[in-house]
Protein backbone atom coordinates (compact mmCIF):
# COMPACT_ATOMS: atom_id res chain seq x y z
CA UNK A 1 0.00 0.00 0.00
CA UNK A 2 1.59 3.34 -1.03
CA UNK A 3 2.59 5.71 1.74
CA UNK A 4 0.85 9.06 1.79
CA UNK A 5 3.23 12.01 1.30
CA UNK A 6 3.99 13.95 4.44
CA UNK A 7 2.34 17.38 4.60
CA UNK A 8 4.53 20.45 4.17
CA UNK A 9 6.06 21.79 7.38
CA UNK A 10 4.54 25.17 6.56
CA UNK A 11 1.08 23.64 6.31
CA UNK A 12 1.48 22.15 9.75
CA UNK A 13 2.09 25.55 11.26
CA UNK A 14 -0.82 27.62 12.51
CA UNK A 15 -1.29 30.37 9.94
CA UNK A 16 -1.39 33.80 11.56
CA UNK A 17 -1.25 37.40 10.43
CA UNK A 18 2.25 37.62 11.94
CA UNK A 19 3.48 34.64 9.89
CA UNK A 20 1.91 36.08 6.74
CA UNK A 21 3.68 39.41 7.32
CA UNK A 22 6.96 37.62 7.97
CA UNK A 23 6.64 35.67 4.71
CA UNK A 24 5.69 38.85 2.85
CA UNK A 25 8.85 40.57 4.08
CA UNK A 26 10.91 37.58 2.91
CA UNK A 27 9.37 37.84 -0.57
CA UNK A 28 9.79 41.62 -0.71
CA UNK A 29 13.45 41.36 0.34
CA UNK A 30 14.23 38.76 -2.32
CA UNK A 31 11.97 39.81 -5.20
CA UNK A 32 10.92 43.38 -4.50
CA UNK A 33 7.44 44.92 -4.67
CA UNK A 34 6.55 43.14 -7.91
CA UNK A 35 7.40 39.77 -6.38
CA UNK A 36 4.81 40.03 -3.64
CA UNK A 37 1.77 38.26 -5.06
CA UNK A 38 -0.85 36.15 -3.32
CA UNK A 39 0.17 33.22 -5.51
CA UNK A 40 3.82 33.47 -4.44
CA UNK A 41 2.78 33.99 -0.85
CA UNK A 42 0.45 30.96 -0.97
CA UNK A 43 3.28 28.80 -2.29
CA UNK A 44 5.68 30.01 0.40
CA UNK A 45 3.14 29.36 3.15
CA UNK A 46 1.84 26.13 1.55
CA UNK A 47 -1.74 27.28 1.88
CA UNK A 48 -4.56 28.65 -0.22
CA UNK A 49 -5.11 32.29 -1.03
CA UNK A 50 -8.43 32.16 0.83
CA UNK A 51 -6.64 31.42 4.11
CA UNK A 52 -4.43 34.46 3.57
CA UNK A 53 -7.39 36.71 2.72
CA UNK A 54 -8.87 35.75 6.07
CA UNK A 55 -6.05 37.73 7.73
CA UNK A 56 -5.29 40.52 5.21
CA UNK A 57 -7.49 42.50 2.86
CA UNK A 58 -5.24 42.89 -0.17
CA UNK A 59 -1.68 43.59 -1.31
CA UNK A 60 -1.87 47.16 -0.05
CA UNK A 61 -2.72 45.87 3.40
CA UNK A 62 0.23 43.48 3.20
CA UNK A 63 2.68 46.21 2.19
CA UNK A 64 1.43 48.48 4.94
CA UNK A 65 1.76 45.76 7.56
CA UNK A 66 5.19 44.68 6.31
CA UNK A 67 6.55 48.24 6.32
CA UNK A 68 5.10 48.84 9.78
CA UNK A 69 6.82 45.72 11.10
CA UNK A 70 10.17 46.90 9.72
CA UNK A 71 9.71 50.47 11.01
CA UNK A 72 8.75 49.26 14.49
CA UNK A 73 11.91 47.14 14.68
CA UNK A 74 14.11 50.05 13.55
CA UNK A 75 12.57 52.41 16.08
CA UNK A 76 13.09 50.00 18.94
CA UNK A 77 16.82 50.20 18.24
CA UNK A 78 16.85 53.88 17.28
CA UNK A 79 15.42 55.32 20.49
CA UNK A 80 18.63 54.78 22.44
CA UNK A 81 20.70 57.90 23.19
CA UNK A 82 21.56 60.27 25.97
CA UNK A 83 20.00 63.38 24.42
CA UNK A 84 16.97 64.06 22.18
CA UNK A 85 19.38 65.13 19.43
CA UNK A 86 21.26 61.81 19.67
CA UNK A 87 17.98 59.90 19.55
CA UNK A 88 16.85 61.81 16.45
CA UNK A 89 20.15 61.01 14.72
CA UNK A 90 19.80 57.34 15.65
CA UNK A 91 16.20 57.19 14.38
CA UNK A 92 17.11 59.00 11.15
CA UNK A 93 20.16 56.87 10.37
CA UNK A 94 18.37 53.66 11.30
CA UNK A 95 15.57 54.45 8.85
CA UNK A 96 18.00 55.63 6.16
CA UNK A 97 19.99 52.39 6.37
CA UNK A 98 16.89 50.19 6.39
CA UNK A 99 15.32 51.95 3.42
CA UNK A 100 18.65 51.71 1.59
CA UNK A 101 18.76 47.97 2.32
CA UNK A 102 15.09 47.48 1.56
CA UNK A 103 13.99 49.96 -1.14
CA UNK A 104 10.46 48.58 -1.03
CA UNK A 105 10.06 50.10 2.45
CA UNK A 106 10.62 53.61 1.09
CA UNK A 107 8.04 53.03 -1.66
CA UNK A 108 5.52 51.61 0.82
CA UNK A 109 5.94 54.57 3.19
CA UNK A 110 5.53 57.05 0.34
CA UNK A 111 2.16 55.44 -0.42
CA UNK A 112 1.05 55.46 3.23
CA UNK A 113 0.75 59.11 4.36
CA UNK A 114 -1.05 59.28 7.67
CA UNK A 115 -0.95 55.50 8.12
CA UNK A 116 0.48 53.65 11.12
CA UNK A 117 4.12 53.21 10.03
CA UNK A 118 4.44 56.92 9.20
CA UNK A 119 2.57 57.91 12.35
CA UNK A 120 4.88 55.66 14.35
CA UNK A 121 7.92 57.55 13.02
CA UNK A 122 6.25 60.92 13.55
CA UNK A 123 5.43 60.03 17.15
CA UNK A 124 9.02 59.10 18.00
CA UNK A 125 10.39 62.22 16.34
CA UNK A 126 7.75 64.41 17.98
CA UNK A 127 8.65 63.11 21.41
CA UNK A 128 12.25 64.18 20.86
CA UNK A 129 11.20 67.58 19.51
CA UNK A 130 9.17 68.18 22.68
CA UNK A 131 12.12 67.02 24.80
CA UNK A 132 14.34 69.56 23.01
CA UNK A 133 12.15 72.34 24.38
CA UNK A 134 10.56 73.47 21.12
CA UNK A 135 7.51 75.70 21.83
CA UNK A 136 4.14 73.95 21.30
CA UNK A 137 3.18 76.21 18.38
CA UNK A 138 6.30 75.08 16.48
CA UNK A 139 6.31 71.39 17.39
CA UNK A 140 4.18 70.17 14.47
CA UNK A 141 6.10 72.09 11.78
CA UNK A 142 9.43 71.03 13.28
CA UNK A 143 8.48 67.36 13.50
CA UNK A 144 7.01 67.40 10.00
CA UNK A 145 10.23 68.93 8.61
CA UNK A 146 12.27 66.09 10.13
CA UNK A 147 9.80 63.45 8.94
CA UNK A 148 9.68 64.84 5.39
CA UNK A 149 13.46 65.06 5.18
CA UNK A 150 14.04 61.52 6.45
CA UNK A 151 11.43 59.86 4.22
CA UNK A 152 12.14 62.08 1.22
CA UNK A 153 15.92 61.79 1.15
CA UNK A 154 15.91 58.18 2.32
CA UNK A 155 13.38 57.19 -0.31
CA UNK A 156 15.20 59.06 -3.10
CA UNK A 157 18.50 57.44 -2.16
CA UNK A 158 16.88 54.00 -2.25
CA UNK A 159 15.30 54.79 -5.62
CA UNK A 160 18.69 55.85 -7.01
CA UNK A 161 20.27 52.64 -5.72
CA UNK A 162 17.50 50.50 -7.22
CA UNK A 163 17.78 52.34 -10.54
CA UNK A 164 21.53 51.75 -10.69
CA UNK A 165 21.20 48.11 -9.64
CA UNK A 166 18.51 47.14 -12.15
CA UNK A 167 20.47 48.76 -14.98
CA UNK A 168 23.85 47.48 -13.74
CA UNK A 169 25.26 51.01 -13.58
CA UNK A 170 28.64 51.46 -11.93
CA UNK A 171 28.09 54.25 -9.41
CA UNK A 172 31.65 55.61 -9.52
CA UNK A 173 31.76 55.71 -13.31
CA UNK A 174 28.28 57.25 -13.53
CA UNK A 175 29.12 60.00 -11.03
CA UNK A 176 32.45 60.60 -12.78
CA UNK A 177 30.70 61.19 -16.09
CA UNK A 178 28.18 63.48 -14.43
CA UNK A 179 30.98 65.44 -12.75
CA UNK A 180 32.66 65.96 -16.11
CA UNK A 181 29.39 67.22 -17.56
CA UNK A 182 28.95 69.63 -14.65
CA UNK A 183 32.52 70.87 -14.94
CA UNK A 184 31.90 71.65 -18.61
CA UNK A 185 28.93 73.94 -17.95
CA UNK A 186 29.09 77.69 -18.42
CA UNK A 187 30.82 78.94 -15.26
CA UNK A 188 29.00 82.25 -15.38
CA UNK A 189 25.54 80.66 -15.62
CA UNK A 190 26.28 77.79 -13.18
CA UNK A 191 29.10 79.02 -10.90
CA UNK A 192 28.15 76.88 -7.91
CA UNK A 193 27.59 73.67 -9.91
CA UNK A 194 30.95 74.04 -11.61
CA UNK A 195 32.67 74.72 -8.28
CA UNK A 196 31.38 71.48 -6.66
CA UNK A 197 31.67 69.22 -9.70
CA UNK A 198 34.91 67.65 -8.48
CA UNK A 199 33.24 66.66 -5.18
CA UNK A 200 30.45 64.69 -6.84
CA UNK A 201 32.29 61.37 -7.41
CA UNK A 202 33.67 61.45 -3.85
CA UNK A 203 30.52 62.26 -1.87
CA UNK A 204 28.99 59.79 0.57
CA UNK A 205 25.18 59.60 0.53
CA UNK A 206 24.91 58.59 4.19
CA UNK A 207 27.26 61.34 5.34
CA UNK A 208 25.33 63.90 3.27
CA UNK A 209 22.09 62.68 4.81
CA UNK A 210 23.48 63.06 8.34
CA UNK A 211 24.78 66.53 7.49
CA UNK A 212 21.22 67.52 6.60
CA UNK A 213 19.92 66.12 9.89
CA UNK A 214 22.56 68.12 11.76
CA UNK A 215 21.54 71.30 9.94
CA UNK A 216 17.91 70.70 10.92
CA UNK A 217 18.90 70.01 14.53
CA UNK A 218 20.93 73.21 14.60
CA UNK A 219 17.89 75.16 13.47
CA UNK A 220 15.64 73.37 15.95
CA UNK A 221 18.01 74.25 18.79
CA UNK A 222 17.38 77.92 18.05
CA UNK A 223 13.67 77.46 18.87
CA UNK A 224 14.21 76.26 22.43
CA UNK A 225 12.04 77.86 25.08
CA UNK A 226 13.97 80.16 27.45
pTM score of the predicted model: 0.85
- 1-31 in b/e burial notation, b at 16+ Cβ within 10 A? eeeeeeeeeeeeeebeeeebbebbbebbeee
Q: What are the two backbone dihedrals, phi and then psi, of residue 9, each rounded to the nearest 5 degrees?
A: -60, -35
Q: What is the pLDDT of residues 77-92, one digit of tens each?
A: 877 668 999 999 999 9
Superfamily of 10-56 according to CATH: Homeodomain-like (1.10.10.60)
Residue 225's pLDDT is 61
Torsion of CA 83, 87, 93, 97, to 10 degrees: 140
Residue 66's pLDDT is 95
Residue 2's pLDDT is 42
**Domain 57-221 is of which CATH architecture?**
Orthogonal Bundle (1.10)
- CA–CA gap between residue 96 and residue 35 (Å, rounded): 23
Which residues in the chain show pLDDT less than 70?
1-13, 80-81, 224-226
Residue 12's pLDDT is 37
Do 43 and 27 contact (CB within 8 A), yes or no? Answer: no
List, by residue range, all CATH 1.10.10.60 domains of the chain.
Answer: 10-56
List, by residue range, all CATH 1.10.357.10 domains of the chain.
Answer: 57-221
Residue 74's CB is within 10 A of a number of other CB atoms, namely: 23
Amino acid sequence: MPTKPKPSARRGESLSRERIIEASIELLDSLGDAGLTFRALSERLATGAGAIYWHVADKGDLLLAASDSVVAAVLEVGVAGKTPEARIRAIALGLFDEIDRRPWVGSALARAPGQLPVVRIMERLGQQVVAMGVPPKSQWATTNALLSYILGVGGQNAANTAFATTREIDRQAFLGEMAQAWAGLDAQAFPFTVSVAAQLPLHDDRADFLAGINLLLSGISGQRRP
